[in-house]
Amino acid sequence: MNYIKIATRRLFKKGEHSATRIISLAAGLAFGILLLAEVLYYHSFDSFYPDADRLFVVHENFKMDKSSDKLSSYASTSGAIGPGLKAEVPGVEMATRITHMGTSVFYTEDQKKYKAQFILADEFFFDVMPRSMVEGNAKEILKSPMNCMISTKIASEIGGGVVGKVIELKEYPGKKLTIAGVFEELPENTNYEYDVVVPLISIGKFMWDGSDNWLGNDRYYTCVKLGKGIKPESLAPAVRKMQEKHQDIVKLEEKHGGMVLKYTFKPILKMHSDNLQDIILILSSIAIAVLIVSLMNYILLTLSVLISRAKSSAVHKTCGAQPRNIQQMIFSETAVLFALSLVGALLIVLAVKPLAENELGHSLGAVLNPIVIIPIVGIVIFIMALISYLPARFFSKIPVVSAFRQYKQKKNKWKLALLSFQFAGAAFILTTLVIVTLQYDNLKNSPHGYNTEGVYFGSTSGMSGSKIGTVLHQLRSMPEVEKVGLGACLPIYGASGNNVLSPDKEKELFNVADFYSADENYLSILGVSVQRGEMFSEKAAVRGDVIISQKGAEMLKINNGWTEGVVGKDVTITEHGNTTIRGVYSDFIVGSKANPDSRPSVFFYRPEAAFIKAAQKNSAYSFKIMVKVHSTAQTGVMKKIEKVFNSALPYNDAVIKSLSLEQGKRYTKQRGFRNAMVAGNIVILLITIIGLLGYATNEAIRRKKELAIRQINGAKFSDILRIFLMDLELVAIPAIIVGLVGAWFTVDKWMENFASKIPLHWGIFLGCSLFILVLVAVASTINFTRNANQNPVDALRTE
């Protein structure tokens, strides 16, 4: 029997709910699979490297400050660690070290401008983390100073024929690199992105060369390839021996009273996913909730349809069909519907592709790798088997004699059980959405401790030191500008670290977020005021004086016994030496509220003239010019500021940013997350409503005779409706409670990542529950009324 042909015929038959089933399943599959693919994508990072399972990233673990018991772990080491591990730790087959130069604008000789991510790498880079070379020999290039190799993407942007061409970075005027090779562009699922590789032996031309340091200057991403079967833990004794030999670690430990530094090896395959555990948890939960809800909805509608076809199952049996034959028939029907749903899902994904790519931050094509595809195909097959098996088994088990005796009249409690999955899913995702949205708003909109409104900034990178003074003058001449200030770093981008030493300089007391230099206007532009002592000023401060956050002041008081306060005290901070504390300012959020830097912070005074002088002395030195505009300034002010900056830039490529917008971008991840929740919520609510409508219609038809008889015996339609809704709500209430409990556990776990979190108020849970209950009542009432409120005589006649 041609089951597929027969199944295709059923598609267009009235009462089969084919379109409803296909739409709801397609929506569920599209969204569920998209999210699951994203979760799997996180696990696919760096899997494209050969022997990826043997690649490990060396982590440096140390105590940030003595008062802390927690070991901080970073995927960066000093420069000598990589070669040291290769030379002195048996089991380490290969090692390489790379370091970022940053994303930079560069220019070709024909004055064209491009943007790329630059890294410095040693000659073993492509031995450990290989890429195919299109042109040139990677090993030779990485041994040759001031050569570089670029990706196929950048080569194509330049227009091909790139080998031999010379490029110059905006940040390092005059330092010319010759392109000596082209490598195959990296896929998107990599932890360490780069477009241009510069030999590490050239580092001294661009920055201070600490590539052979055993301690400090820990900016290197060190990756090792271990021998087959070597467990990273087994390397610990040899690594310790290396530390004893080169770092004098025993003496260091004695000085600091315990373990201060150790190295561990983290599988490169886990580098990305381990940092995203919270997102993986939530995305997986939403994906599973959406898939379960859509599957249960499909099964609910399918079983409802099959009940009306119970007699045909019996007829097939009287014709000699075995349960296996009946199951094949249903399986074919499911296959046709599922294939159409998959096509629908694909179309939905294609339709939302631009939006999804924007929210996910990568192309959807990037997920097409074996680590994602194989499990997804497995999940799709499992889903198809499940939605085929359950209805097929149910249909084949209908007893022949019952089927011939109005089988559809039997009680259908199972429908309510299936609906309960949808209620639970809807409650779960709605509540999660509300909490995620509130948390996002809380992160983004609540005060960060500094002002961002009307503050713009740009870098002096690429600007001749001699022109900075003119730029500052022009900016101050603009009627819209209230104040102009200079600073090395911004709170939104976090800060580097240095240690505050004890008065005898023997102990490191704690680590601070070091914002380096700021002039007398910088902090007032940010609206950060000094609580005690004085703000930087030409009169009251000398270059190098420091102001410290409230938290830092408290820690100094405790550690040094400075009960009378810290203002005026001398303090030694690594990299800066001895300095005087001029003031104490209120703590503000360093980084973002999503991932705040909890260290105290410091600023060092540098007068405007000193900033300019430094830039004139070193062309690679750059800092930020901060501009505060009047509240009455028009929207075009950013363009005007850009114009002033461009007047001092040879390539007119100034980038002016709004501090407010940049701060908002710190929460892109949370926003993407909130948007994923919104989409998931729409899908689940849509499916739930479809399920409810289908249920209400089927129930109205199933109970048509009963309703007619009740009406004839004096019941009002509202009485009947009340009974129907009571049945439904009695199932909905426990299901919603299950959904709420799931939501509570999920968001509670997710919120562990935030220092600042909204309280999980019971009102949120109650509000979401009521919304679902009302939705259930309204959707069911409308459809039940439409289908059941007919003349009882007609109902009995058709019966």
Under the rule (CB under 8 A), what is the footprint of another protein? 1, 6, 9-10, 13, 311-312, 314-323, 325, 400-401, 404
Q: Which two tokens stand for residue 104?
A: 């930079």
Output 323 or 527, the one with its CB closest to another protein.
Answer: 323
**Nearest distance, CB of residue 320 and another protein, angstroms:** 3
Q: Are strands 71-74 and 261-267 parallel, antiparallel or unpaired?
A: unpaired
Helix (H, G, I), strand (E, B) or coil at 197: strand
Q: Are strands 624-629 and 496-501 parallel, antiparallel or unpaired?
A: unpaired
Q: Smallest gap, in angstroms, from Cβ of residue 309 to another protein? A: 8
Q: Give the nearer residue to another protein in terms of CB position, either 10 or 362.
A: 10
Euclidean distance between CA atoms 326 and 321, whole angstroms: 7
Which residue, 10 or 483, is less far from another protein as judged by CB?
10
The least distance separating another protein from the CB of residue 342, rounded to whole angstroms, comes to: 23
72 vs 312, beta carbon nearer another protein: 312
What whole-number distance in Å separates Cα of residue 119 and Cα of residue 221? 10
Nearest residue (CB) to another protein, 10 versus 240: 10
| Least distance between another protein and beta carbon 441 (Å) | 54
| Amino acid code (one letter) for 543 | R
The least CB distance from residue 324 to another protein, in Å, is: 10
Nearer to another protein, 7 or 438 (CB): 7
What letter would DSSP give residue 145?
Answer: T
Shortest distance (Å) from residue 14 CB to another protein: 11
Per-residue three-class SS string for 25-59: HHHHHHHHHHHHHHHHHHHCCCCCCCCHHHEEEEE
**74 and 58 Cβ atoms separated by less than 8 Å:** no
User: Between residues 403 and 693, which has the closer beta carbon with respect to another protein?
Assistant: 403
Encode 395-425: b = buried (16+ Cβ within 10 Å), e = exposed: bbebeeeebeeebeeeebeebbebbbbbbbb
State the distance between the two ends of the chain, measured CA to CA, in whole angstroms: 33
| C-beta of 316 vs 444, nearer to another protein | 316
Residue with smaller CB distance to another protein, 401 or 635: 401
Closest distance to another protein from the beta carbon of 697 (Å): 20
Residue 322 CB, nearest distance to another protein (Å)?
Answer: 5
Q: For the CB of residue 319, give the shortest distance to another protein in the complex, in Å.
A: 4
Q: Are the beta carbons of 792 and 709 closer than 8 angstroms?
A: yes
3-state SS, residue 618: coil
Mapped onto helix, strand or coil, the DSSP state of residue 512 is strand
- Per-residue HEC secondary structure of 685-734 comes to HHHHHHHHHHHHHHHHHHCHHHHHHHHHCCCCHHHHHHHHHHHHHHHHHH
Longest dimension (CA), the chain: 105
> Which stretches within 191-276 are classed as H helix?
203-206, 236-246, 249-256
Rounded to a whole number of angstroms, the minimum distance from the CB of residue 695 to another protein is: 24
DSSP assigned state of 641? H
Whichever of 313 and 783 has its CB closer to another protein, that residue is 313
For 515-530, b/e burial (b = at least 16 CB within 10 A) is bbbbbbbbbbbbebeb
| Residue 22 to residues 33, 122, 350, 685, 770, Cα–Cα distance (Å) | 16, 55, 17, 16, 29
Residue closer to another protein by CB (options 373, 400) is 400
CB of 10 to another protein, least distance (A): 6
